[in-house]
Structure 1
Amino acid sequence: MVTAQVVFKLPRPLPEFNTTTDYFIQSDPKQPRQHPITNFGLKDQWTWDSLIEQIKLLPSHKLFLLQRHGEGYHNIAPANYSKHEWNCYWQLRSGNGEVEWEDARLTPTGQAQITSLQKQITNTENFPRPHAFYVSPLRRTLETWELTWYDQGEVATIKELARETYGIGTESKRHSKTYIETHYPGFAFELGFTESDELWNPDFHESEQHRNYRAAKLLQEIFNENQENNVISLVAHSGLIKSILQVIGHRKWPMYTGELIPVVIAMTYDSKTYSLDDPWRSLKDVCKV
């Protein structure tokens, strides 16, 4: 695990990653956008079985099931306030006395979204079973993973690098390791996972540039940990998934809450040094209307 301070101060080359337009509608800029997409976007000339057999022939390629959490209370709370009120005051609070959005949990709508997704997975013929599961440590992603995959009898590994863009807003602040162990038993923690949240900062908001570097580092770790595994599940956030798609050269694909898109990702032997010179935004920057 790499802390934000170390990543920010010590940029280093990482492998280059890419994707292909061959298998999925969402990965092919020539295809019109569809929401929702039939059969998770798998093109008609492929079956799930033939796709997996093809990936097995390409050791540097893996099928990632990129999943955004269901609707959380932080997703609906801003609608109750003006942009200025939310950015400059309310997002700094844990809640408003009626709704808590710090490390937000799923709303009933969010739970229903994931229940529907789980049924879609179950009803999709020969949908690939992940060989490894990874999840962000925030409550909404842990709850999303449980509703989607718990019945598979597998264990997901919590990774700090899989978090949403963090800082200033309390929705991006995680609970302690002890809290997670107590309230969400059955998850594995990556080596070095700290007791307290050492990434979140009340004064600064992570830059997109840094989040992209973090996404590339996360992909590198997952590839290195899964030499023989072909199918990877990652439950994360819209910002983090946006960065993954950008890192691999995928077209932009806005992720709705509760959505899952399969994407084939390859790790190459080429390297890339990520610039980390963009400043992180302060509260004064965020508060501008």
Structure 2
Amino acid sequence: MDTNVEPLSSIGTAPEAGVTAAHHVFTVLKGFFLQDDLDTDPEGFDYNDPDLNFGLINRAYDTDASFDVSLQKTQWQRFERYVSDLNFESPKNTQYKILFMGRHGEGYHNVAERYYGTAEWDRYWSKLEGNGTVTWADAHLTDAGIEQAKTANAFWKRGIRDWGVPAPGRYYTSPLDRCLATAQYTFEGLGLPADRPFVPEVKELLREVIGVHTCDRRSSRTYIESHYPAYKIEDGLTEDDELYSPSHRETTEEQVTRLRQLLDDVFTHDKSTWISFTSHSGAIAALLEALGHREFRLPTGGVVPVLVKAVA
């Protein structure tokens, strides 16, 4: 670690409000999604391709014999029943959830990094508020990023209507604007079931790598409340970004620890089986590592589903 920067412990940790100290043992159940398979190349993998069915593998389940006697159910409907039975038959300390991890659409910081190159971006430009023409502090979506989120919206609409993809029971989003906006464009207007409304909760721990890069410094709580009034904001979210430091950027180990804390929080307090996370490339990579999933890098606007077993 650079001796000229502050250790993360000196700038504080995420708010404790609503976060449990419990620890789960997480296991990714393989053989259900193509994204779990090491033979699946993440490069160019298009979750939006209808032939890929969101990556859900065409296979039989133990519950098919009693649930789909007439062979009329879709793959997703049969999978939903299978997961429901897993939870019904599991002991009290064990639960199964499907996590839909979606990366935000393209932001102005993504454009700037491509323009300047990653080396120069990390060395100099990422530490500025912008370049005089474009602002990337708490980066907002570009027009292309908005279209990526709208593509995701069309995908979810088709998936729920035609394939039987279950709508998430809960929605969580990073407090950074590009994720707040992506979640809104992705899930609003889907005609969701009455018992699964789109009421996203803003989670501090779900944010991108913390520190140095201004694009990863969030706006105030007041800003989030005024621009996204329908969103629920967790109690521990402070008015100003108390986690951001201009002199220290989280290490991978620190980030994985933070995202594991988020998973513990969600698996302890949320009884929903189908959950959506709207987050960032680095945060999703850390989530996958915390779960024991293979590395699966997402493009802006990409989504990866994961079936997770958690034992408390």
Alignment TM-score, normalising by the size of structure 1: 0.86
Whether the aligned pair in 1 keeps the contact of 2:101 and 2:305 (CA below 8 Å) is yes
Whether the aligned pair in 2 keeps the contact of 1:24 and 1:43 (CA below 8 Å) is yes
Residue of structure 2 equivalent to 1:68 = 103
- For these two proteins, the number of residue pairs brought into alignment is 263
Query: 1:86, CA displacement in angstroms?
Result: 2.5
Root-mean-square deviation (CA, aligned residues, Å) is: 2.0
Q: 2:175 aligns with which of 121, 129, 137?
A: 137
CA distance in 2, matches of 1:173, 1:167: 7
Q: Which runs of 5+ in 2 are unaligned?
A: 1-9, 15-20, 61-74, 88-94
Question: Tell me, what secondary structure is at the counterpart of 1:14?
Answer: coil
Alignment TM-score, normalising by the size of structure 2: 0.80
- CA change 1:123–1:13 in 2 (3 A) is closer
Runs of 4 or more above 6 Å deviation: none
CA distance in 1, matches of 2:59, 2:119: 50
Question: Is 2:70 the partner of 1:35?
Answer: no
Whether the aligned pair in 1 keeps the contact of 2:22 and 2:268 (CA below 8 Å) is no
Query: 1:96, CA displacement in angstroms?
Result: 1.0
Query: 1:114, CA displacement in angstroms?
Result: 1.1
Query: 1:177, CA displacement in angstroms?
Result: 0.3
Question: Tell me, what secondary structure is at the counterpart of 1:205?
Answer: coil
CA distance in 2, matches of 1:171, 1:251: 27
Q: How does 1:39-188 map to 2 (within 5 A)?
A: 39-45=53-59, 47-59=75-87, 60-81=95-116, 83=118, 85-124=120-159, 125-151=163-189, 152=192, 153-188=197-232
Question: Is 2:27 the partner of 1:14?
Answer: no
Q: How does 1:209-288 map to 2 (within 5 A)?
A: 209-227=253-271, 229-269=272-312
Q: Which runs of 5+ in 1 are unaligned?
A: 270-289
Residue of structure 2 equivalent to 1:283 = none
Residue of structure 2 equivalent to 1:280 = none
Query: 1:87, CA displacement in angstroms?
Result: 2.5
Q: Return the letter of the residue paired with 2:184.
A: E
Q: Which shows bigger deviation, 171-180 or 29-38?
A: 29-38
Query: 1:259, CA displacement in angstroms?
Result: 0.6
Structure with bigger strand share is 1
- CA radius of gyration, larger in: 2
